[in-house]
Amino acid sequence: MHPILSFPPLEKGGQGGFLSRNKTKSPSVPLFQRGIQLLLPFSKQLTGRGTFAVVLLVILTVPSYVRAQNLPAGEKQKIEALIKHLGDLKEANFVRNGTAYEPATAVRFLRGKWNANSADVKSARDFIDKVASSSGTTGKPYLIRFKDGKEIHSRELLLAELKKIET
């Protein structure tokens, strides 16, 4: 028989010709399959890393949340009152590292710093000493600058307010 007119050999159980299931596939299929095979380990790696990241986040977040919940309700109320007092100072600015901020900005900043240091804050006095008195970065004390130019350390102002709250 002429080689051009020959048909592929019959496979076991096959019918030969175009109907036979030839084990060779089009070139695009192996590339596609190889692409999937390359992506599978990567996706498993991402899934593993993603799972690890979530577990790590939970492990790091839960203890601070639990500790924050352990803060006595009365102390939390005092801290909230101190923050509200700072927010109500309409004729003053909060000075941090030499820059003056509006009271609303100071409130957001102190809430964020309190949240970040919640494990260290066990009382309103801790809040004043560890969060609202000085910069953790530079060590400079926070100031309250009044409209007339007078400045007072935020610690002094907050301790005086705490004394009022507690009496």
Q: Would you kindly state where each structural domain of the chain is located, as residue ranges?
A: 25-70, 72-166
Q: Assess contact for 119 and 127: CB atoms under 8 A.
A: no
Q: Each residue's pLDDT tens digit in the chain (167 positions)? A: 555 555 555 555 545 555 545 555 555 556 556 666 666 665 565 566 666 666 556 566 655 444 455 788 999 999 999 999 999 999 999 999 999 999 999 999 999 999 999 999 999 999 999 999 999 999 999 999 999 999 999 999 999 999 999 99
Q: What is the pTM of this model?
A: 0.59
Closest CA to 103 of 131, 140, 144: 144
